[in-house]
A and B are shown apart, each in its own frame.
Chain A
Amino acid sequence: MFSGFMMNTWIAATIVAIIAGMVGFFAVLRGSTFAAHAIPNGAFAGAAGASLLGISTLTGLAVFSVAGALGIGALGRRTRHDVATALALVLMLGLGALFVSVSSQYAQETYSLLFGEVFGISPDELLPIAGLAVLSVAAIVVVFRPLMLSSAMPEVAEARGVSTQRIEITFLLIMALATSMTVPVVGALLMFSLMIGPAAAARSFTSRPGLAIALSVAFGLVTVWTGIAISYETNWPLGFFVGVLGAVFYLVGRAWAGARRTRTVRAGRVPAAVTA
């Protein structure tokens, strides 16, 4: 399980889990769950297009995920956010359907782009993944304070001169960056589970941002490590374990939060959550 080619898998999966945990925390906090689903999925179309043109998959993923992020940002300014996201998503997926069907022998590749091919990572793929990872972490660190403020209290951020619009675009671009590196590893559909499940669970356990990010990363790591180990033994797809473990973490988090609420009756929190 820890032989030469598997080391690449472990390293790549670890990087992916860390990034997904960090970006996912903000995605959950901001309520950009749909964007977290749409950008990786749309990026899949870019990968299909890249393999059609014979250029590097990473380039295709990067171009499409950035285009998707900008598209959601631009459309979202004019219409409701979820509608903008849905339209950007289907547009990119429509192109993806075209790319995949024009090159008829890509059925297997479609599957691996959607559901990941974590056991096929070569050493020279690791370097760009690590580079993009460092870049996304650095970006998050740089914009951490305004991003945190505008996610938690948009009105206060606006009043302090933080442009919500600009933060939104910045965040979507960070997500795009993270996506283009993770899609080849865990696949478009499962990148989403990895971003949402651990982060949502972490938020149920604590309301302190630093701790929540750390927990989110930790849950993500446990998810992928367990997933890889079981997947290696059973030969079942990693995506299955990532998706299910993410849901398990979330349910445990909800149960824990529920239990805590009944123990210490915090009347203030419940109505706030309902009316917001």
Chain B
Amino acid sequence: MSSVGHLFSYIAAPGLLSSGPVRIAALVGAVVAITSGTVGVFTVTRGQSFAGHSLADVATTGGSGAFLIGLNQFWGFLVFGVGAAAFLEIIGVQRRRGRDVATGVVLGAALGVAALFLYLGSVTTSTTGASFTVLFGSIFVIAPSTVPVLVASGVIAVIVVVVLSRVLLLSSLSPDIAAARGVPVRLVGATYLMALAVSVSLAAVAIGAVLSTALLIGPAATALRVARGPERAMATSAVIGVIATWLGIILAYDSYYWPPRGHGWPVSFFIVAFVAVFYLLTYLRRPSRRGRAQAAAGPSSPRGPRGPKGPAEQAGPGERACSAAS
């Protein structure tokens, strides 16, 4: 942590912390990162990465629809995201086989509608930049009036997932045992999907629909490689997400002074880059035979936070999770 502070004085451009948009971006970015990181742990555990990504893309459609009728984009994202989550639940996202296809068909239709909305938008308002903003986000131009809503929905999603975490983990890893213990597996799954939709809509507003997947999956996948137990994994994931987001914001702010001059690089690019680097670092640290054996064991044994582990892994990752969480 101190090294980050040390680095900060070198890499932060003058005026970073006194800029209003940057403050809002840092706040919203942190909220998004924490929400996505927390929710994402279960997205990865449940193998719903595609559903998560699709919800973000479907939310894009809502965003462009809201743009068309002049509403705040956040509401468009939220309404379409939650609606799509409900639809996915009905057509059976809980079944392993066939759900990817069903998800894909919903996604394809939604993208078609997005194409139409963006086209109509460009016809009626003669702005062509809308598609770029909707897809890749604009963390520096968030209206201050939206911030309370963003924060509130993020907090709700996090609370839901944290409260449900134990039940969720059980029903994700072995639905049969969960059902035998009296857990309403389907209801838990549906509730989780709603939380996922809310967090994805948040991320879509902040770093763009397409790239919200990065914050949802990247930190969570990294955390699941290094941390144990759902609580630690969620905390680690949230911390990784926040670090990636803040570093991304700092560098994007700096990049106004980089070539080509006078034109900043996109925040999304930096955030994705950091997320990917963090994930790949976990491989450098521990290129053990165990990891490969686990991957070979197939998708039916997800990299769950539970289960017997080899002694070689016990020291490294645990220590790392603690230092990251504190």
Identify whether the interface residues of B are mostly helix, strand, loop, or mixed.
helix
A188 CA to B268 CA, complexed, in Å:
19
Cβ of A110 and Cβ of B108 under 8 Å apart?
A: no
Interface members, chain B 277-292 (any A CB < 8 Å): 279, 283, 291-292
Of the 9-residue stretches A2-10, A170-178, A205-213, A242-250, which lies at the interface with chain B? A242-250
Cβ of A95 and Cβ of B132 under 8 Å apart?
A: no
Cβ of B283 and Cβ of A78 under 8 Å apart?
A: yes
**Of A90, A95, A236, A243, which contacts B109 at CB under 8 A?**
A243
Of the 9-residue stretches B73-81, B113-121, B144-152, B154-162, which lies at the interface with chain A? B113-121
Q: How large is the interface on B (under 10, 10 to 19, 20 to 34, 35 or more residues)?
A: 35 or more
| CB of B112 within 8 Å of the partner chain | yes
Q: Report the minimum CB–CB distance from A228 to chain B (whole Å).
A: 14
A170 CA to B118 CA, complexed, in Å:
36
Cβ of B111 and Cβ of A90 under 8 Å apart?
A: no
A103 CA to B52 CA, complexed, in Å:
30
With A33-B104, A83-B217 known to touch, is A98 a contact of B299 (CB < 8 Å)?
Answer: no
A110 CA to B96 CA, complexed, in Å:
34
Cβ of B53 and Cβ of A34 under 8 Å apart?
A: yes
| CB of B266 within 8 Å of the partner chain | yes
| CB of A181 within 8 Å of the partner chain | no
| CB of A26 within 8 Å of the partner chain | no
* Chain A count of residues within 8 A CB distance of the other chain: 57
**Of B53, B208, B283, B291, which contacts A89 at CB under 8 A?**
B53
Q: Which residue of B lies closest to A79 (CB)?
A: B295
Cβ of A37 and Cβ of B104 under 8 Å apart?
A: yes
Cβ of A95 and Cβ of B269 under 8 Å apart?
A: yes
| CB of A276 within 8 Å of the partner chain | yes
Within 8 Å CB of B283, what residues of A?
78
| CB of B135 within 8 Å of the partner chain | yes
With A34-B53, A87-B279, A243-B109 known to touch, is A98 a contact of B266 (CB < 8 Å)?
Answer: yes
With A33-B50, A193-B109 known to touch, is A90 a contact of B104 (CB < 8 Å)?
Answer: no
Identify whether the interface residues of A are mostly helix, strand, loop, or mixed.
helix
Cβ of A101 and Cβ of B217 under 8 Å apart?
A: no
With A79-B303, A91-B272, A247-B105 known to touch, is A239 a contact of B111 (CB < 8 Å)?
Answer: yes
Q: Which residue of A lies closest to B117 (CB)?
A: A240
Within 8 Å CB of A89, what residues of B?
53, 213
| CB of A77 within 8 Å of the partner chain | yes
Interface members, chain B 3-60 (any A CB < 8 Å): 44, 47-50, 52-53, 57
Q: Mark B91-125, 1 if CB is under 8 A from A, else 0.
A: 00001111011011111111111111011001000
Within 8 Å CB of B309, what residues of A?
none
What are 16 A-B pairs at a CB distance below 8 A?
Answer: A33-B104, A77-B292, A82-B49, A87-B221, A87-B276, A89-B213, A90-B217, A102-B265, A107-B129, A107-B131, A192-B104, A240-B119, A242-B108, A243-B112, A244-B109, A244-B113
| Residues in A lying within 8 Å of B, measured CB to CB | 28, 31, 33-34, 36-37, 41, 77-83, 85-87, 89-91, 93-95, 97-98, 100-102, 104, 107-108, 110-111, 114-115, 187, 189-190, 192-193, 196-197, 200, 236-237, 239-244, 246-247, 250, 273-274, 276
